[in-house]
Amino acid sequence: MIAESMYQELILEHYKHPQGRGLREPYDAEVHHVNPTCGDEITMRVKLGDGGKVEDVSYDGQGCSISQAAASVLHELASGSTVEETLGVVEEFTRLMQGRGQVEPDEDVLGDAVAFAGVAKFPARVKCALLAWMAYKDALVRSTT
């Protein structure tokens, strides 16, 4: 498999062994997002704690490995972090995905999520990678208002 491959080991790992999958109680907000072009789906719950802490991100869904692995990576990055920190990551991830392969990813901010860099060249796949992340952003808004 070539270097710039979309299918980094890490993505496959997360797809085959998703972290934190399953919907859990308690939660502050639940959202359901669908990608109408390819049918990928995700249900996501967010539980916030004191001091802007993200206590839990739980989810369930179906779709291609990219969309499902993205949810798993998100779970890892967000759980235990703060709302503010994760919003920064979401922003950087969105910038990377919408950069059409021309944006240099900031690895310090993205962590494992940098494995998705190869996706950015395929507009049709960008939505797969973003599905869970957009759902998360949406769920945050609903939790805090």
Interface with other proteins by CB under 8 A: which residues?
1-7, 12, 16, 36-40, 63-66, 100-102, 121-125, 128
Choose between 22 and 36: whose C-beta lies nearer to other proteins. Answer: 36
Least distance (Å) from other proteins to the CB of residue 115? 14
Q: How many CB atoms lie within 10 A of CB 111?
A: 12
Least distance (Å) from other proteins to the CB of residue 143? 27
Tell me which residue of 92, 87, 96 sits closest to 137, measured CA to CA: 87
Choose between 4 and 107: whose C-beta lies nearer to other proteins. Answer: 4
Q: Which residues contact 9 (CB under 8 A, 6 or more apart)?
A: none
Choose between 66 and 78: whose C-beta lies nearer to other proteins. Answer: 66
Least distance (Å) from other proteins to the CB of residue 73? 16
10 contacts 110 by C-beta, under 8 angstroms: no
Q: What angle do CA 91, 97, 99 make, to 5 degrees?
A: 100
